[in-house]
């Protein structure tokens, strides 16, 4: 029988063991985190105060920005602390809490991306019915589902994580508490946790991605039937930003969670995790603003009003 031990805390290996790189990484990721907060909070405020950004698309975008702020804040502060700390520990309870919010926010984000794809389908394929079908009440109901479902699924997944047993090795080869490296160091309860992680991730990623793909297949068919070249260009431009965000987020998560945890996959996953926990939340506001005429106009009007007040 394995010698199970009561774990009170874990040791996070972090991004690097090289002392000379820690300060550099701290500065880089602190800047990335600040840009993430400013960009996403700025997007939320811009959408809330701009009359031309009161459509369902921007309502969903504001929630995507909100989730990105929570997603990054769940991981980055502890990562920054550990880059300058010699102990690099996280309590057992703190680890479970971080796991809970991470899994919840991943599920919320993938389904918000699916809802945004459905919204683009309704706007392009049913423009005459769009205003009535995508009313404020409908939008609130649509956005409520990812939150309720994501946090409910995460509770179940975290209970399975709580069911893992450890035999003295408490060194997590990661910069936050993630399921694959936890499974790798556990010595009991591994098989059910590993199986359920892959199955739940597979089902949810497949279902949400199917909604995205079906929506865009129907959008492409509708756009190709348009007689106006300007109309086709405008339709594709409104979808380009969303497709970019979907490709980045799903690609990195599939690479991380749809493989069995091995020493090699955990090490590779650590590098990929930097991308979806820090880089993608920073890039999303840029992706949706740099290629979006409405957002640019809203920013221009606010800047113009600010200059007039001076």
pLDDT at 14: 82
Rounded average pLDDT over 40-67 = 91
The mean of the pLDDT values for the chain is 85
Q: Residues 158, 103: contact at Cβ < 8 Å?
A: yes
Rounded average pLDDT over 35-41 = 93
Cα–Cα distance, 175 to 113 (Å, whole number): 26
Cα–Cα distance, 293 to 299 (Å, whole number): 10
pLDDT at 16: 77
Tokens representing residue 47 in the block: 């959408």
Cα–Cα distance, 68 to 102 (Å, whole number): 11
Helix (H) or strand (E) run with residue 213 in it: helix 190-224
DSSP annotation of 5 reads B
Tokens representing residue 213 in the block: 């793909």
pLDDT band at 75 (very low <50, low <70, confident <90, very high): very high
pLDDT at 37: 94
Asked whether the predicted pLDDT for residue 2 surpasses 60, the reply is: no
pLDDT at 1: 44
pLDDT at 214: 93
Residue 74, C-beta contacts closer than 8 angstroms, at least 6 positions apart:
98, 101, 102, 105, 176
Q: What is the 3-state secondary structure (H, E, C) of 81-117?
A: HHHHCCCCEEEHHHHHHHHHHHHHHHHHHHHHHHHHH
Rounded average pLDDT over 220-234 = 77
Asked whether the predicted pLDDT for residue 5 surpasses 80, the reply is: no
- The model's pLDDT over 194-207, given as tens digits with 9 standing for 90+, comes to 888 888 888 998 89
Q: In what order do the strands lie in the sheet with 9-12?
A: 89-91, 9-12, 171-172
pLDDT at 266: 60
- The model's pLDDT over 101-147, given as tens digits with 9 standing for 90+, comes to 999 999 999 999 999 999 989 988 888 888 888 999 999 999 999 99
pLDDT at 222: 85
- The model's pLDDT over 85-102, given as tens digits with 9 standing for 90+, comes to 888 889 999 999 999 999
Q: Locate tokens 């793909």: which residue?
A: 213
Q: List the one residue out of 193, 160, 177 whose CA is nearest residue 10.
A: 177
Rounded average pLDDT over 49-69 = 91
Select the more confidently predicted residue: 292 or 160: 160
Rounded average pLDDT over 262-284 = 77
Asked whether the predicted pLDDT for residue 254 surpasses 60, the reply is: yes
Residues in the chain: 310
Q: List the one residue out of 109, 65, 66 whose CA is nearest residue 286.
A: 65
Select the more confidently predicted residue: 218 or 240: 218
pLDDT at 146: 95
pLDDT band at 267 (very low <50, low <70, confident <90, very high): low
Q: Residues 127, 228: contact at Cβ < 8 Å?
A: no
Q: What is the DSSP track for 162-191?
A: HT-BBSS--EESSSS--HHHHHHH--BSHH
Domains of the chain as residue ranges with CATH: 9-300 (1.20.1070.10)
Q: List the one residue out of 281, 278, 249 whose CA is nearest residue 76.
A: 278
pLDDT at 260: 61
pLDDT band at 261 (very low <50, low <70, confident <90, very high): low
pLDDT band at 265 (very low <50, low <70, confident <90, very high): low
């Amino acid at each position: 029988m394995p010698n199970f031990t009561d774990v009170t805390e874990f040791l996070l290996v972090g991004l690097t063991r090289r002392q000379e790189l820690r300060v550099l990484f701290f500065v880089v990721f602190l800047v990335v985190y600040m840009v993430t907060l400013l960009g996403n909070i700025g997007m939320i405020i811009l959408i809330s105060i701009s009359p031309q950004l009161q459509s369902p698309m921007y309502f969903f975008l504001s929630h995507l920005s909100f989730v990105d702020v929570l997603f990054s804040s769940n991981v980055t502060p502890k990562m920054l602390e550990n880059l300058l700390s010699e102990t690099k520990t996280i309590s057992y309870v703190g680890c479970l809490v971080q796991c809970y919010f991470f899994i919840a926010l991943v599920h919320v984000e993938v389904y918000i991306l699916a809802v945004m794809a459905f919204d683009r389908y309704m706007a392009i394929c049913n423009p005459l019915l769009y205003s009535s079908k995508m009313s404020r009440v409908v939008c609130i109901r649509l956005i409520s589902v990812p939150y309720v479902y994501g946090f409910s699924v995460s509770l179940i997944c975290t209970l399975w994580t709580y069911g893992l047993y450890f035999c003295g090795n408490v060194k997590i080869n990661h910069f936050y508490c993630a399921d694959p490296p936890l499974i790798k160091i556990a010595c009991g309860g591994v098989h059910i946790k590993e199986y359920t992680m892959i199955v739940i991730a597979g089902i949810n990623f497949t279902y949400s991605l199917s909604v995205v793909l079906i929506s865009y297949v129907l959008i492409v068919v509708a756009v190709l039937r348009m007689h106006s070249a300007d109309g086709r260009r405008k339709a594709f431009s409104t979808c380009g930003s969303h497709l970019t965000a979907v490709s980045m987020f799903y690609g990195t998560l599939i690479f991380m969670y749809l493989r069995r945890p091995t020493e090699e996959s955990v090490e590779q996953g650590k590098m990929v995790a930097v991308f979806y926990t820090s880089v993608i939340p920073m890039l999303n506001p840029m992706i949706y603003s740099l290629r979006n005429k409405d957002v640019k106009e809203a920013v221009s009007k606010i800047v113009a009003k600010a200059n007039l007040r001076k």
